[in-house]
């Protein structure tokens, strides 16, 4: 069997990471095997360890990538707005959209990785990646708050972000029941 070029190796690694980023958000770490990730990437299971040290190492990198994607999406959503109020509203409306509930593989990594992260040791690479990612999203959200004092902006950002994350979590957990839509609508109304 011919050797794979360095360029193809890098491309395969990126494909594995992209697939894992989506699947870990959808199914969690425990609900997903390395073989399933590799199959979804269109690669053989045996090649995994040539790219990643372990499933846990892949999860930490997937978590980092998921948060980087979210930070980028948030920047794109607020770019066309004219003021902080418009930017905040754009983030709230998008975050509390049905699509964030219905497409967990593309949704917020704060929700997607939380169940696994809370069971990780405090110094695990996954937990560290998660903390950094949540911190980045919170900093961005704080940047669209209108409160004049920094401590007030931070507190308001923490409260609102927590409400949004909780609403998506509960809406996903009750999906298919009218309660799911009710939760999202209540959160949207409250933050309007």
pLDDT digits (tens, 9 = 90+) for 122-135: 999 999 999 999 99
Residue-averaged pLDDT of the chain:
94
Closest C-alpha among 93, 133, 98 to residue 113: 133
User: Which one has a higher pLDDT value, 141 or 44?
Assistant: 141
CA atoms of 101 and 9, how far apart (whole Å): 34
Categorize the per-residue pLDDT at 46 as very low, low, confident or very high, splitting at 50, 70 and 90: confident
CA 190 from chain center: how many Å? 23
CA atoms of 56 and 41, how far apart (whole Å): 17
Question: Once rounded to an integer, what is the mean pLDDT over residues 159-171?
Answer: 98
CA atoms of 83 and 22, how far apart (whole Å): 32
Domain ranges across the chain? 59-191
C-beta neighbour count of 99 within 10 angstroms: 9
Helix (H, G, I), strand (E, B) or coil at 2: coil
Categorize the per-residue pLDDT at 3 as very low, low, confident or very high, splitting at 50, 70 and 90: low
Integer-rounded Cα radius of gyration of the chain:
18
pLDDT for residue 110: 97
C-beta neighbour count of 104 within 10 angstroms: 19
Model confidence pLDDT, tens digit, residues 77-116: 999 999 999 999 999 999 999 999 999 999 999 999 999 9
Residue 47 has pLDDT above 90, yes or no: no
Print burial letters for 49-88: b (CB count within 10 Å at least 16), e (below 16). eebbeebeebbbbbbbbbbebbeeebeeebeeeeeeeebb
CA atoms of 5 and 38, how far apart (whole Å): 19
C-beta neighbour count of 175 within 10 angstroms: 14
Residue 126 · residue 117 · CB < 8 Å: yes
CA atoms of 158 and 141, how far apart (whole Å): 9
Fold observed for domain 59-191: Tetracycline Repressor; domain 2 (1.10.357)
Model confidence pLDDT, tens digit, residues 25-35: 999 988 899 99
């Amino acid at each position: 069997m011919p050797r794979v070029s360095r360029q193809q190796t890098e491309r395969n690694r990126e494909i594995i990471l992209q697939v894992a980023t989506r699947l870990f958000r959808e199914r969690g770490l425990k609900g997903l095997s390395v073989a399933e990730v590799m199959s979804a990437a269109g690669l053989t299971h045996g090649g995994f360890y040539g790219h990643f040290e372990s499933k846990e190492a892949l999860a930490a990198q997937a978590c980092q990538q998921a948060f980087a994607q979210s930070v980028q999406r948030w920047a794109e959503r607020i770019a066309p707005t004219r003021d902080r109020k418009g930017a905040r509203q754009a983030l709230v409306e998008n975050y509390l959209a049905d699509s964030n509930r219905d497409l967990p593989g593309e949704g917020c990594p704060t929700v997607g990785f939380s169940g696994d992260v809370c069971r990780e040791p405090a110094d695990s690479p996954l937990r560290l990646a998660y903390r950094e990612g949540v911190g980045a999203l919170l900093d961005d959200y704080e940047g669209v708050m209108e409160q004049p004092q920094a401590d007030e902006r931070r507190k308001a950002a923490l409260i609102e972000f927590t409400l949004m994350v909780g609403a998506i979590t509960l809406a996903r957990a009750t999906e298919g029941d009218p309660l799911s839509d009710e939760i999202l609508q209540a959160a949207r109304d409250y933050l309007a």
